[in-house]
Chain A
Amino acid sequence: DAMVIQNPRYQVTQFGKPVTLSCSQTLNHNVMYWYQQKSSQAPKLLFHYYDKDFNNEADTPDNFQSRRPNTSFCFLDIRSPGLGDAAMYLCATSRDFGESKNIQYFGAGTRLSVL
């Protein structure tokens, strides 16, 4: 059974039209992450939540926001998508922080297209 679930799997939006991607987890993990992965590249961390504490990566554009209303759900909001935001967006979770506790479990991803 899938433990990290991302919806939708494919999302098409228009240039400048806000879009929200969803992630849910059944693992009861404390930490949730959002990554952006462009074609043939490694995943790039955008931000993470430890419980309700939000941590933004220094180079994450302001256009990207996130919400975590409860332990199970986390959302990625792209306020004004540009063509350069077309990518695979991956959600991941880990039980806790700390080098030996940070085994990250990934969802299947949402492929975002911007027209």
Chain B
Amino acid sequence: AQSVTQPDIHITVSEGASLELRCNYSYGATPYLFWYVQSPGQGLQLLLKYFSGDTLVQGIKGFEAEFKRSQSSFNLRKPSVHWSDAAEYFCAVVADSWGKLQFGAGTQVVVTP
């Protein structure tokens, strides 16, 4: 069965510092991968997606992610975080042929001044 692992439950980062969130997936074929962000009390907003092609994917809000097949990873990065980036981040993979999403457990990001 397809699965997604986000090893870090909680990350604290200083404003202006770089951020990297880890995501590992287990999937037999070429995975379709997503990163979503959820601000407190809000729904999920799509940051970026990977279906095929260039393994470095650019998203909204200055985020990017790199697909590495050899490591089964799809890590999310931002060079310089802003206080507004404090949120929960979910990695997800399409888990079956009709497109059901399998979410990771999420990583809570706290931004300190």
Interface residues of A (CB under 8 A from B): 4, 6, 40-43, 45, 90, 92, 94, 97-109, 111
Q: Would you call A98 and B46 a contact (CB within 8 A)?
A: no
Residue B97 is within 8 A (CB to CB) of chain A in the complex:
yes
Given contacts A41-B106, A98-B97, 13 further A-B contacts (CB under 8 A): A6-B43, A42-B90, A45-B100, A45-B101, A90-B43, A98-B99, A99-B97, A100-B51, A101-B99, A104-B101, A106-B45, A107-B43, A108-B42
A97 and B98 contact, CB distance less than 8 A = yes
* Nearest-Cβ distance from residue A96 to partner chain B, whole angstroms: 8
The reply on B113 being an interface residue by CB < 8 A is no
Q: Which residues of B (31-86) have their CB < 8 Å from a CB of A?
A: 32, 34, 36, 41-46, 49, 51
CB-nearest residue of chain B to A102: B99
User: How far apart are the CA atoms of A41 and B101 in the complex, in Å?
Assistant: 15
Decide yes or no: A102 and B103 within 8 Å by CB, A43-B44, A109-B42, A109-B43 being known contacts.
no
Alpha-carbon gap, A108 to B105, bound state (A): 19
From B31, which residue of chain A is reached at the shortest CB distance? A99
Q: Is the CB of A99 within 8 A of B46?
A: no
Contact present for A111 and B103 (CB under 8 Å):
no
Q: Are B45 and A42 in contact (CB under 8 A)?
A: no
A108 to chain B, nearest CB (A): 4
**In the docked arrangement, what's the CA distance between A48 and B76, Å?**
28
**Shortest CB distance A97–B (Å):** 4
Question: Are the CB atoms of A43 and B103 closer together than 8 Å?
Answer: yes
Q: Which residue of A102, A105, A108, A109 is within 8 Å of B94 (Cβ)?
A: A102
Query: Are B105's CB and A41's CB within 8 A?
Result: yes
* Residue of B with least CB distance to A31: B99
Bound CA span A45–B41, Å: 18
Q: List, sorted by A's number, 21 A–B pairs whose CB atoms are closer than 8 Å.
A: A4-B43, A40-B106, A41-B105, A42-B103, A42-B104, A42-B105, A45-B100, A90-B43, A97-B99, A98-B97, A99-B51, A99-B97, A100-B32, A100-B51, A102-B98, A102-B100, A102-B101, A104-B101, A106-B36, A108-B42, A109-B42
